[in-house]
Structure 1
Amino acid sequence: MSAPALTCPRCQSTQVVKNGRIHNGRQNFKCKACSRQFVLNPTKKVIGQDTRELIDKLLLEKLPLAGIVRVTGVSETWLQTYVNAKYDAIPKQVDVWPKKKGGLTIQCDEMWSFVGNKGNKQWIWLALDVKTREIVGVFVGARSRSGADGLWQSLPGVYRQCAICYTDFWSAYEQVIPEFRHQAVGKESGRTNLIERFNCTLRQRVSRLVRDTLSFSKKLDNHIGAIWYFVHHYNLSLLV
């Protein structure tokens, strides 16, 4: 007696073909009629808190999502949904120690990245407190006055009111930062070395920012969320 034909759980079509294997090695099938993919006798897997905490840590290392799937054994679909929700909930503003007015110095710089393809460049604007090493300003956008203004507006008020700001010679800075508190300097001065070093750290720890990578962001919201996730972790690490 021949085995019964496979039917699609969505449309009941028998036009079903094999379509590779899922993350745990089980055979995957695809319906040619409605494109539904499925496995036989699926079992719902509960993702425990220990696995979720491990994923949270792995998101702070230079691992693509595909690598996290291989390490943890979760499905790509579940992981992407989890990451989307996590990045969407990340606060998009800095949380820094209270500061007194006076004696504040920050270093500002911008670094490029891309979303979707290398033709869609996104610039990450950052500001770092020289004394505490905290990241006190973040903005992702164009390398223009609007980007510099986004960084300026992301700074806590005490920095906008009092801080001396060291930057490179990119003209957008002088269009936004008050002249009497802006110092444009070259790399040889050492006045922007801390923020440049942080840029290197960011590229080394966030896989989607590596210059030659297959792990780049497909969605701008996730790109921004991943950057903020690492910045909040970095600032918290300074308290240890």
Structure 2
Amino acid sequence: MPGNSPHYGRWPQHDFTSLKKLRPQSVTSRIQPGSDAIVCAEMDEQWGYVGAKSRQRWLFYAYDRLRKTVVAHVFGERTMVTLGCLMSLLSPFDVVIWMTDGWPLYESRLKGKLHVISKRYTQRIERHNLNLRRHLARLGRKSLSFSKSWNCMTKSSGII
């Protein structure tokens, strides 16, 4: 009967205590340089633009395969200078194995280190690229939303 409803016309209240509560990642669980070693790190670059497609901006970043987190990232042009900036951010970490795609600058920069060049071993970072493109409209290729300044693009990608 409608008049005898204990919820007064609202949906019944459910007990959600049995559901697992998800907590955001705390700052203390991040990878600490010098104290933690990264066994396998994947590196890749992702294309974006600011204002017009002729003004390209690249996101270079490294992804830890075991922890499934982004270790470091840099925005810039697709040059050796930007790759050098990323490598300087990664220098405090003890990376054992580097996994990249076939871009020639990775080979020249990682010479003398354990380096695997394969599409098979960069599947996780490529999937992360796809997730970024799906969730951040500014990184989408064919989208009406785009960044109007370099600063806005860097700040909007702060979830990385």
Question: Taking structure 1 as the reference length, what is the TM-score of the superposition?
Answer: 0.51
> Relative to total residues, which structure has the larger helix share, 1 or 2?
1
CA–CA distance in structure 2, aligned partners of residues 178 and 96 of structure 1: 28
The answer for the alignment partner of 1:100 in structure 2 is 36
Whether the aligned pair in 2 keeps the contact of 1:152 and 1:177 (CA below 8 Å) is no
The reply to whether residue 150 of structure 1 matches residue 85 of structure 2 is yes
User: Could you say what secondary structure the match of 1:119 adopts?
Assistant: strand
The answer for the alignment partner of 1:50 in structure 2 is none
Q: Pairwise mapping of residues 12-51 of structure 1 onto structure 2 (< 5 A)?
A: none
- Count residues with an aligned counterpart: 130
The answer for the alignment partner of 2:159 in structure 1 is 230
For structure 1, which runs of at least 5 residues remain unmatched after alignment?
1-94, 232-240
The reply to whether residue 111 of structure 1 matches residue 41 of structure 2 is no
Residues 1:209 and 1:100: Cα distance change in structure 2 (over 3 Å): closer
The answer for the alignment partner of 1:133 in structure 2 is 68
User: Could you say what secondary structure the match of 2:93 adopts?
Assistant: helix
State the shift of 1:156 in Å.
5.6
Whether the aligned pair in 1 keeps the contact of 2:51 and 2:147 (CA below 8 Å) is yes
Question: Taking structure 2 as the reference length, what is the TM-score of the superposition?
Answer: 0.74
Residues 1:206 and 1:156: Cα distance change in structure 2 (over 3 Å): farther
CA–CA distance in structure 1, aligned partners of residues 116 and 77 of structure 2: 22
CA–CA distance in structure 2, aligned partners of residues 105 and 196 of structure 1: 15
CA–CA distance in structure 2, aligned partners of residues 140 and 100 of structure 1: 25
> Relative to total residues, which structure has the larger strand share, 1 or 2?
2
Identity %: 28
Show structure 1 runs of 4+ deviating over 3 A: 98-101
1:126-166 CA-partner distances (Å, limit 9, x unpaired):
1110110110020111112112112212226124xx33110
**Quick one: which amino acid aligns to residue 152 of structure 1?**
M
1:26-50 CA-partner distances (Å, limit 9, x unpaired):
xxxxxxxxxxxxxxxxxxxxxxxxx
For structure 2, which runs of at least 5 residues remain unmatched after alignment?
1-28
